[in-house]
Chain A
Amino acid sequence: NAGVTQTPKFRILKIGQSMTLQCTQDMNHNYMYWYRQDPGMGLKLIYYSVGAGITDKGEVPNGYNVSRSTTEDFPLRLELAAPSQTSVYFCASSHGGAGYGYTFGSGTRLTVV
């Protein structure tokens, strides 16, 4: 059971560079989420999707973009990396929405220098 798979695990970006954080799940979950976790700050929702072709902004969407062309994949795009985007990023999925609990990936640690 792979669950939620995130790649890469670690990445260092220079200011202004772009990258895509990959997330894929094999549980046929409709709901998928992207969170960022900063030390001592808990988890903040960036974007979420309730199904293929549908995405919506969370609490902290600025500087990010997402797409959901398939049920399995939910990539997160950083177009112009900034130091403020240094964080640990978690992708999660749920079969029935937030109230059923999420399955989280193991995270991507991103450093922007």
Chain B
Amino acid sequence: GQQLNQSPQSMFIQEGEDVSMNCTSSSIFNTWLWYKQEPGEGPVLLIALYKAGELTSNGRLTAQFGITRKDSFLNISASIPSDVGIYFCAGLITQGGSEKLVFGKGTKLTVNP
């Protein structure tokens, strides 16, 4: 089945640093989504990407849909303590007429003040 390889698994950074994480796959995806999950809560959608090559920003967050449609990255600029959480990528495929969202295993971000 389709798998997403999300890296890194975890990151420990200082406040103010920039962060970069990515997802890769051997499969082609039609849509890429990035979510953030805080402790004890469900994931919250950060950014959605719908076209190959698309670059989208949401405040200090920037995400890109890879040209090959097999990868995506998320950058966070000037990190702050509230950026702490687990970031998930998710890719959308269509199989047999139904849509399926495949999730990466997450990148756990720790920000030291």
**A residues near B, CB below 8 A?**
4, 40-45, 56, 59, 90, 92, 97-107
Contacts of A92 in B (CB 8 A): 42
Please tell me the number of chain B residues within 8 Å of chain A, measured between CB atoms. Answer: 25
Tell me the bound Cα distance from A107 to B18 in angstroms: 30
Q: How far is the CA of A59 from the CA of B98 in the complex (A)?
A: 13
B42 touches A42 (CB 8 A): no
Query: What is the chain B residue whose CB lies nearest that of A104?
Result: B42
Instruction: State the 9 A-B residue pairs at the shortest beta-carbon distance, nearest first.
Output: A104-B42, A101-B45, A98-B101, A42-B105, A42-B103, A43-B103, A98-B99, A99-B31, A99-B92
How many angstroms between the C-alpha atoms of A100 and B33 in the bound complex? 9
Per the bound structure, the CA–CA distance linking A100 and B100 in Å amounts to 12
Chain A nearest Cβ from B24, distance in angstroms? 14
- A33 to chain B: closest residue by CB: B101
Verify if B59 is at the interface (C-beta below 8 Å from A): no
User: Cβ of B44 < 8 Å from any Cβ of A?
Assistant: yes
Complex interface: chain B residues within 8 A of A102 (CB) = 43, 45, 101
Please indicate the chain A residues that have their CB under 8 angstroms from the CB of B6 in the complex: 42
Residue pair A56, B98 in contact (C-beta under 8 Å): yes
Residue of A4, A43, A45 with highest tally of chain B CB at under 10 A: A43
Residues 86-113 (chain B) with a chain A CB within 8 angstroms: 88, 92, 98-101, 103-106
Given contacts A99-B31, A101-B33, A102-B45, contact A45 B101 (CB under 8 A): yes
In this complex, the member of B43, B48, B88, B92 whose beta carbon has the largest number of chain A beta carbons within 10 angstroms is B43
On whether the beta carbons of B88 and A104 are closer than 8 Å, the reply is no
Contact (A98, B45) CB under 8 Å given A40-B105, A42-B105, A43-B88:
no
Looking at the assembled complex, report how far the CB atom of B107 sits from the nearest CB atom of chain A, in whole angstroms: 11
Residues of B within 8 A of A41 (CB): 105
A87 to chain B, nearest CB (A): 14
